[in-house]
Structure 1
């Protein structure tokens, strides 16, 4: 219902407005009445009407003053002026304050309802635009969040080209999506700053003292925003590279954490060793000594557990399951799966 208040210092005009208006037909309800501008302001602050119908000449704060305050503080509120004075000064003030109509007393029912219908249509249109903007913003955020896994993988692998490319791809997609209408720079900044902080903590980096703030100018456009985000990520990656190069002892718990975060991608022993600046032979030996299991076997175990879960709980095609578990060739996935579980993926799904 469209919340409406009526403001007039005389009771009779208020009663006529209530009697003549097609309130139910237009989905409107009268939530209050006031006999001067000050009382009207208290009602507006307390009840947040969407439509105000007001007289112009009243004791205390009059209609002209009320219109000015409504324009300044409540620009979304629709206003209809009902006045007994055919005065150009009043009419000009009503126009300046964007009143939707100026109706002269005595009130004509048709004229009143035409004004009410006009306000109804404008309010419904505004609500539709607000819903569309909200949907656009939610879609926008979902698109941005979809790039987080790639950024995580590139960050952990110290792949600066991958980080640059990911932010550029995201910028192009959002531009194609007309996301500039959504004005979501601040929210996107927060999303990727939270991710960066999480990545630094996961890689045992010191976050205290790191400059997570971004230039105010960067929030003026998506291009500036993604340029600044790229530079912040590259700075953190540079610190991570130094951290990995010069530490005295390989942190195997960190290696394991890295594998658990990336096993669904086609990572190799060589890539992991390169990301931590050690030889693959040393990495393999150290991992087995610590966890009593070959690193390659551990990756395969994680992939098999994940693929079995997807196979039994969902209806994804087996090819899609293979790809989502880090296997680029489905035939190789079949061989590994059957060797690990003793049955082919299709047979396991049938037996569930």
Structure 2
């Protein structure tokens, strides 16, 4: 699925692009927006979109500067220039930057989708060539590794029966390497790397990680890694060795090198733990569980990427739980007291900071409990919300949140974001129970059509989400908010053009258009003839 970024300093223009584009047919999954060149460049670096629709004339950082950055740093992006200006210098810059197409405002649906079709065709051609190599390697290497990982996992979980699976045992057991040791690795910034480096292709990310780790075996050690099917952030490494002395020296060194390589190649922040060394496959389960206990004891307050050993293992530290504060959060949510809710979270975080210890295990447990409990509060205190119901499909993961944290500071910020997100849903529920009706938005447009109108006016006034507000308006009136504004302005323009005393420039200004040419083009796109022609038609047909 494709990701599109719209860079334009005018919100109505961005909304028009979103309305006119045939996104479902094109396979576009996500549409991002930037209201200028600088935030646009930041979003390009962060999200790596497949297609960029770019306005050329913007304040501060203009379209030409953005095009130069795309050419130098992101040549894979298909760029479409959209501008209200037919200036040669912009056209020349677009040609030099190898843009897919150059179209003028106001937009016409056919022209926009034709340009998007060209962009998608170019992207698919590039991807087909690029993916051929990966597909061949995945097909060749998938069968045996999958069988080995299934066997190792069944051994770790105590579900492997030697008598019934003797043939399968030969796949993982080598008499020349009788000693076994398990390592466990956690990828703390997995979501971010998946989105920014692997275009949301988690399978490809796991394949790349396995290849890197497995390369660090030697003539004395066999190394095999695989994803823990129970936890998508955890990789398990099984080391087989000839002698205990070799493993004590080499296994940790090999895994440390693999961790460093993963950070260098992909930017993955990895923490890991080593289990005990044992003789035979039967020892593997105990080795893994020891490694997992060591890993979960790592102190988030002093986190760094390293291998933890039993010499630094500590499970006697004080455990922290946010569950004991949920009755206080319930009172804050019930009273719509956001400051009180934040104060409760401040106190919890302060207690952790004073203790100087907060294990990764406690961090993950509290994060999961916090989400589940806040979700229950929302269901208890307010009407069901379709966005919340959708979130349950992803284990209550808040929409558009990245649940990564590589430091205690990031972990705290994530807790505050989750609190704010669910508190906002309470506000939405209360609003829907009140006197709000979507007709209020329609009335505002009809009374203030000559002003600059954007969705934020209504979201801030009625405490409703952008998506919910736009959906509600379309259900009630059959068109979007910006479409209705355009329809009302055009009908008003017809009325004003009937007055011969008014100049077209005056009419444009009365309707809220800063540019007379833009108004004329918009009028022609809507009615099929220009404002001047319309006056001629009226005069000839009194």
Query: Normalising by the residue count of structure 1, what TM-score does the alignment of the two structures yield?
Result: 0.41
Structure number with higher helix proportion: 1
Query: Normalising by the residue count of structure 2, what TM-score does the alignment of the two structures yield?
Result: 0.29
Structure number with higher strand proportion: 2
